[in-house]
A and B are shown apart, each in its own frame.
Chain A
Amino acid sequence: MNPTRGFTGRPRAARPGLPPGQYDAGDDWPVLSAEVTPEIAPADWTFRVGGLVAEPRTWDLAQARLLPASGYAGDIHCVTGWSKFGVRFGGVSLDAFLDAAGPLPSATHAVAHAHTGYTANLPLADLTGGRAWIVWEYDGEPLAAEHGGPARLVVPHLYFWKSVKWIAGLELLDHDEPGFWERNGYHARGNPWEEQRYAGD
């Protein structure tokens, strides 16, 4: 493509953490849920790990808080184009939940479910090894409902639609099964560094 006449773009200070096609949202944290924000009391929140596991397990928030504390401090990237640098989430590593349930050797993928019915599919390998969290704090404060509170999934190395808000559970499968946006034309994996926005990218 030839350059667009007269387009210069923003000053391009090198920003090593910015994936291709993304811009720095600065202090903004846009909300992009496609559904009505649910009102879920912390006491009513539950998280279940089921499917291809040795023992399906369910936690409420009080039980989840007893697991070893962990958090993510770093950057997040939304498929609509914004990236947000230096966010801090607090919760528990997803490994702690998975270890308790015991994934079977046949488990290769997972569908993450929200309490609203929203879903996202992920390879199990993207959810293990300290790369995914269940979080209930943002910047040391309770996670706001519009950002997924009481608790959400955070998988920061993938586009953020994979980081399911109002997380209800994880279903382990022996195959990939498209989730909500993935059935609506979005990429199965969503790696921002390879710009996997839409199916076929």
Chain B
Amino acid sequence: MTETATHPAGAFTAPTRFAVPGRIEVNGRVAGTWQTATLTEIRRETPRASTFRLAVPDWAGHLPGQHLMLRLTAEDGYRAQRHYSLASAPDESGHIELTLDRVPDGEVSGWFHTVARPGDEIEVRGPLSGFFAWPGDRPALLLGAGSGVVPLMSMVRHHRARGLGVPLRLLVSARSPEELIYAGEYGAETTPVFTRTAPPGTPVGRLAPAHLAPFLAEPPDGGWEAYVCGSNAFAEHASRLLVAAGQPVDRIRVERFG
């Protein structure tokens, strides 16, 4: 990387570009308004993760891959707020779903996993950010690990619910079959990767070039839009594998926990 290029207007652009445009316009008014959400259902997904279904009557709708901001309020007015990815596909139900890991000492996730019950009210604002959104238009290659699969599952569900013909593939990494979130929901589009223990006949090991090769050797028309979500360590590993396999840097969108 050496000199930056200058275009006629005098502005300069970097010599490499990544996926600068967000996938959608974001509605600032909607994103700015806190709404009351009522917990209607809790489903255990794994020993460490549960799904929380929320009724949000005025939910403006979202695209798969978007997130929301959520806050809890204590008796003395103290508030704690966090960003969480939406797990549910967009629909007209007036409900949304979040899948949360139980983080050790987690201030907010701890409340969800030990105190929350149907009928509880919390506050949410969103949907937020267009960068990681997938409108269902471009072929999607999804790489997730742990609860990083949550926004990607929204894409898988959307793909299914709308019967979309555009190619979509999911590579999901988990420590063990017991820790694989949404294990019962995956179909032919998904390849699980187990890093500690695996079912008989399935190899153990982290995501590797061989997992990506079949998809990147023959990309679909227009190429893949790659979405990577997980810990920073996973995101670094997976995005390097994608680049090494020939996926253009400007067609990789990364969302890291933090």
Contact = CB atoms under 8 A, between A and B. Distances in A.
A61 to B, nearest CB: 12
Interface in A84-143: 111, 113-119
Given A23-B107, A180-B20, A4 B3 contact: no
A201 interface: yes
Top 3 closest A-B pairs, CB basis? Answer: A30-B258, A185-B26, A200-B32
Given A3-B73, A21-B81, A30-B257, A199 B11 contact: no
A190 interface: no
A10 B107 contact: yes
B218 to A, nearest CB: 22
Interface string B120-137: 111100001111100000
Given A81-B82, A117-B13, 8 more contacts: A4-B122, A8-B75, A9-B74, A32-B258, A38-B1, A116-B16, A169-B4, A185-B22
Q: Is the interface of A mostly helix, strand, loop or mixed?
A: loop
Nearest to B21: A183
B176 interface: no
Interface string B231-258: 0100110011011000001101111111
Contact of A115 (B15, B81, B128, B235): B15
B256 A1 contact: no
Nearest to B23: A184
Nearest to B81: A21
A116 B18 contact: yes
Contacts of B258: 28, 30-32, 78, 80, 82
Interface in B213-245: 232, 235-236, 239-240, 242-243
B208 interface: no
A27 to B, nearest CB: 13
Contacts of B80: 7, 9-10, 23
